[in-house]
Amino acid sequence: MTPRVPTYRQAQIDIKRYIEEKGLKPGDALPPEDRFSQEIGISRLSLREALKALDSLGIVESRQGEGVFVKAFSFDSIVDNLPYAMAMTEAQVKNLLYTRAYLELGAIPDVVNRIAPAHVERVKQLADTMLERARQGLAFAEEDHAFHVEMYKCLDNAFLDSMIDLFWRTFNRMNRVATPQPASQDVLEGRAREHIFIAEMLEQRDTFGLISAHRKHFHYLFKRYPL
């Protein structure tokens, strides 16, 4: 016997189906509450609860005094709701790590072919800033994030950019939870130099060198979570 779908879950399914069938795009308004509940055949209370849940997932957004609108796709809600550190199983962390590595490494040949000199220069500047901060014993999370974003921006693939951003923010938050103590200056300098090596290979348009440098950048994570 097929288990019955809870009312609140069915309401969410009905709303998402309505959005798909009507071809609604980000920014399009959903019908007023009374008409909407009648159209999809649920109570107004169930509709409100379902819309609140979908709002928290980033599928719709409520605007005070205006109504409910379809929201543009974003990974923000996924990052906010992901379990971190010990809450994730080792297998989940490992799968997430290697998916990130396969994605970033696989895109490198196209990055080498398409990245413009101005973007290479920006990547180099960010790497240099990381090393400067590391020598002062300072972390460089913002520069690290900007480095990865800048490197893949040339591919003009918004979905890829979102995925890379998702993975970066996930592992950055996991590392903060798992190792709350600040990294030593030696560790910071080592990671900064990894970024400098990546920037150098990128400037030389050395595809295999860049892949090698990028794999080395993942090495401390690979070592913690080996296949």
Alpha-carbon distances of 144 from 94, 105, 147, 193, rounded to whole Å = 21, 17, 5, 12
Q: What percentage of the chain carries pLDDT values higher than 70?
A: 88
| Residue 101 pLDDT greater than 80, yes or no | yes
11-48 per-position pLDDT tens digit: 899 999 999 999 999 999 999 999 999 999 989 999 99
pTM for this entry: 0.68
- Check pLDDT > 80 for residue 61: yes
Q: Output 109 or 93, whichever has higher pLDDT.
A: 109
Averaged pLDDT of the chain: 86
Cα dihedral: 56, 58, 64, 68 (round 10): -110
167 vs 225, higher pLDDT: 167
